[in-house]
Amino acid sequence: MQQLIWRLVATKRAYQLQREFKEIDKLMSVLNNASRLQLATLTQKEFSAAAKSEFPHLYGTPPEQRYSAWGSGTTIGLSRARSDNLPVRLRGIALWLTVAYHETRGTTLPALDSVHRSLLRALRVLRESAPAATADSWFSSEQAA
């Protein structure tokens, strides 16, 4: 029974993340090359900071909310991504991508795995827009762990 409840919770979360990802992806698609390069750099920095965190999937979550089913990093990131201010929007997108990646990484649930694959495609596009020297180090801290 408990496993069924967790599957339902995970399916609801996957649906929410997929819906949010569509909005993030749309925001990323309208960026010009210079903004996309800035986003790639910010995302790399967010990945690096999250990798140093004890719980990367809770990166960006206030300490008092650490015991919830999932963190508030994606919520914070999405609200910033909706900003009219470009630097705030880029930071929000980078935060959302980072937290959603860590939240869906290594999942065994098909619904969350689908979200993770979508994230990987978006991150690949971003990584390809970054200079080659920096693009190679995106996941290096994670692979070392």
Provide the residue type at 134 as one letter. Answer: T
The stretch 115-132 carries a mean pLDDT of 87
Residue 101's pLDDT band (cuts 50, 70, 90): very high
**What's the confidence (pLDDT) of residue 131?**
67
3-state secondary structure the chain: CHHHHHHHHHHHHHHHHHHHHHHHHHHHHCCCHHHHHHHHHHHHHHHHHHHHCCCHHHCCCCHHHCCCCCCCHHHHHHHHHCCCCHHHHHHHHHHHHHHHHHHHCCCCCHHHHHHHHHHHHHHHHHHHHCCHHHHCCCCHHHHHC
**What's the confidence (pLDDT) of residue 9?**
82
Most confident region among 59-68, 81-90, 133-142 by mean pLDDT: 81-90
Hey, what are 115's tokens?
């979200």
Residue 141's pLDDT band (cuts 50, 70, 90): very low
The stretch 22-33 carries a mean pLDDT of 95
Of 65, 67, 77, whose CA–CA distance to 119 is shortest? Answer: 77
Encode pLDDT of 71-98 as tens digits: 888 999 999 999 999 999 999 999 999 9
Residue 14's pLDDT band (cuts 50, 70, 90): very high
- Burial of residue 142, with CB atoms counted within 10 A of its CB: 0-12 exposed, 13-18 middle, 19 or more buried: middle
On average, the pLDDT of the chain sits at 85
Cα–Cα distance measured from residue 57 to residue 94, given in angstroms and rounded to the nearest whole number = 14
**What's the confidence (pLDDT) of residue 143?**
43
**What's the confidence (pLDDT) of residue 36?**
93
